[in-house]
Structure 1
Amino acid sequence: MLFSAGLGMSAVLRLVLLARELQAAGHEVRFSAPARARHRVVRAGLVPVLAAPQQFSRAWRPDLVVHDPLCPDSTATAAESGVPTIGYLPYAHPPLSPRPTVWIDPCPPPLRQRPEPSAWQVRCDAYELPPQPTPQLTELSLLPRVCITGVPTGTRPEDRRRARLFRRVAEGAESLGLQLVVLTGDAQPWSVVLRGSAAIVHGGDEASVYAAARYGVSQLVLPAGEEERRAGKRLEQAGIGLCLSDDDLAGAASSMLRLRFRLAELLNGGRLLPAAAELGRSIARMPQPAELVHRVEALARQQGN
């Protein structure tokens, strides 16, 4: 079975979980991923593909392809393979065509704007390596913990503008006496940092949305673009988060007061915290990747019949 992931680390780490389960069930698995992600594939106990995915697929002739439907190379590999294909349904961005034989949907149902009726549901987990160094955190803290991730580091004017917005949010959190944890990189130890956290601030990316939902944490989205803004609005509609932009915090005199009010709303106000916690409990009851193995095997057998 050939797995083909795209540029996003979150796609790689989500596919790794299913690949490991299929390999443990006795299947021959190969995993195509960008060079910067191959060390995670290897440390997960999988065999990475070093050639171009389409070239490797033609030579290796898989019985089934599981792919990232946002990556042109992965989608082309699946389309050319001539075997059953499985695509992980994206959260915010529209997938590329053609459609796979089967969709796997890791998105919690309350957050999916347009459900795919025939998709296989799976819990929105991602493979994690032990963090280096391990964050020294406890599940219980005297102060509510807020995680901040996805702070822009680019030099474009829009990156600098959003970085300032993240800094203002951090200042607002500190002014409320909250415990701050700032995360960097694109592969976070979510199970460590989100257990015991009350809220997370991020840019609306799929990995952060899913991780916070999985651990029952309320979310504040500072969107990077229109797709991320729509993702943030879906969190608001589901009652588990807020979405803010530069315009929401315009005006130096009153913006910090408004920001502090919104942060307090995330941590103490009304329905956000209990709704996020209830969503986390419902996600914990969803199928795990191991529960999809027999369905994947049945799909692959169709190729041999």
Structure 2
Amino acid sequence: MRVLFATNPHIGHTFPTIALAWALRSAGHEVLLATTGDGLTAAGAGLQVADVAPDCDMAALRTTIAAECPDIVRRLTENPPRDLSLMSVMWARMAAGELGDGTVEVARAWRPDLVVHSQMWSAGTLAAAALGVPAVSHGYGFARSGDLETAQFTDHMADARERHTAARLPARLVLDVAPPSMVTPEPGGRTVRYVPYNGGGVLPPWLLENPGRPRIAVTLGTMAPKLTGLGPVEHLFRHAPDVDAEFVLALGDIDLSSLGDLPANVRPCGWLPLGALLPTCAGIVHHGGAGTTMTAAGAGVPQLMLPDGADRHINADAATARGLALAAAPEDLTPDLLRRLTEDDKLAHAAAEVRAETATLPGPADLVPDLVRFATA
């Protein structure tokens, strides 16, 4: 069987699909990932990747779409959303042009039997409809799609559907990666265990050593530092010396010179896979991104979330309601709030419960036979 993965060109939407891609690959099926922009970093996972828009300037495309949708941008800025309805329109506009066209071109050339697309990425739906093959919508966090994916296709992809003779929605299956105790399951969906992919690498020796005191990971994901800078980290640094913990600053390849001298209990480490770092940690402070929230929940690590846009308030709402996380604005950080990460038994207990729940869910490999049946039905 040939399976085309079509993902939104962002790491946070592409990386959650990699475990399933490798499950299919390991079972002997052919896999190709169609994406562009930051999504191309998935090639580092050893997958074959096709760039659907090699000449596309993603920053310029986002600027153009924002200019075409000023009311949506204003609403997203003024009132952080608790659902995906506004973002779904923006993503559909992105997928309706050259990114969607390129995805269909790759699909027609490669002829898959099944298309797996990242949640709300209607370029994947378009490709499946154009070829007349089934589609699988792969979740990435706690945001619920409901009927939004159908609305994307019918209301915002009309020109693209006409160009590619893709009038009818394909048969569709939804894979939901969120633990059931934290969300309302997607209607008709299948829940699959979230297996994080954060990349590989040589681990530093200190990571395998006992730090002698609680260790707290600090990350802002891949997009937030580019868009909003390092402000949240600056607030944290003011209080770090008053907390008996080692703070591991995992911000990737970012220039930290603007932060000045780091407190003695802050360890900068550049890029480090969260899947390796978190099992050594008693807590994590982060921006509220879906991948970070899901990885920490699966590791059973209490979280302090500083959500600032996109779907991050949705993730923070789910995690705080379940009792495994705290949420605050960066300027409201205090030493006491940071200490709660390592001292609050209720947080630790809820985090451990979700870790145990996650371990009982079927893994990506368990779903492969069902996907084969779905593709050939």
Find the partner of 1:198 among 266, 278, 282. 282
Find the counterpart in structure 2 of residue 238 from structure 1. 322
Deviation at 1:36, TM superposition (A): 4.1
Q: Is 1:153 matched with 2:225?
A: yes
Q: Please tell me whether the aligned partners of residues 229 and 243 of structure 1 are also in contact (alpha carbons under 8 angstroms).
A: no
Unaligned 5+ runs, structure 2: 53-101, 151-168, 254-270
Judged with a 3 Å threshold, the aligned counterparts in structure 2 of structure 1 residues 79 and 204 are, in CA distance, closer, same or farther, namely farther
Find the counterpart in structure 2 of residue 109 from structure 1. 180
Find the partner of 1:129 among 187, 199, 204. 199
Give the TM-score taking structure 2 as reference length: 0.69
Judged with a 3 Å threshold, the aligned counterparts in structure 2 of structure 1 residues 120 and 93 are, in CA distance, closer, same or farther, namely closer
Find the counterpart in structure 1 of residue 364 from structure 2. 289
Deviation at 1:226, TM superposition (A): 6.8
Distance 1:48 1:87 in 2: 19
Mapping of residues 24-103 of structure 1, within 5 Å: 24-41=26-43, 43-51=44-52, 52-93=102-143, 95=145, 96-98=148-150, 101-103=172-174
Find the counterpart in structure 1 of residue 251 from structure 2. 184
Distance 2:363 2:351 in 1: 20
Distance 2:310 2:375 in 1: 38
Q: Is 1:172 matched with 2:226?
A: no
Which segment is superposed worse, 190-199 or 9-18?
9-18
Distance 1:88 1:15 in 2: 7
Count of aligned residue pairs for this structure pair:
286
Q: Please tell me whether the aligned partners of residues 67 and 78 of structure 1 are also in contact (alpha carbons under 8 angstroms).
A: no
Find the counterpart in structure 1 of residue 74 from structure 2. none
Q: Please tell me whether the aligned partners of residues 103 and 123 of structure 2 are also in contact (alpha carbons under 8 angstroms).
A: yes
Distance 2:375 2:27 in 1: 14
Alpha-carbon RMSD? 2.5
- Structure richer in helix, relative to its length: 2
Give the TM-score taking structure 1 as reference length: 0.84
Judged with a 3 Å threshold, the aligned counterparts in structure 2 of structure 1 residues 78 and 68 are, in CA distance, closer, same or farther, namely farther
Judged with a 3 Å threshold, the aligned counterparts in structure 2 of structure 1 residues 198 and 79 are, in CA distance, closer, same or farther, namely farther
Find the counterpart in structure 1 of residue 338 from structure 2. 263
Judged with a 3 Å threshold, the aligned counterparts in structure 2 of structure 1 residues 181 and 59 are, in CA distance, closer, same or farther, namely same
Deviation at 1:86, TM superposition (A): 0.5
Deviation at 1:212, TM superposition (A): 0.3
Mapping of residues 269-280 of structure 1, within 5 Å: 269-280=344-355
Q: Deviations over 1:137-185 (max 9, x none)?
A: 136431111111017434x7xx25xx33332224323311210111124
Letter in 1 for 2:241: E
Deviation at 1:122, TM superposition (A): 1.2
Letter in 2 for 1:26: G
Find the counterpart in structure 2 of residue 13 from structure 1. 15
Q: Identity of paired residues, percent? A: 28
Judged with a 3 Å threshold, the aligned counterparts in structure 2 of structure 1 residues 9 and 116 are, in CA distance, closer, same or farther, namely same
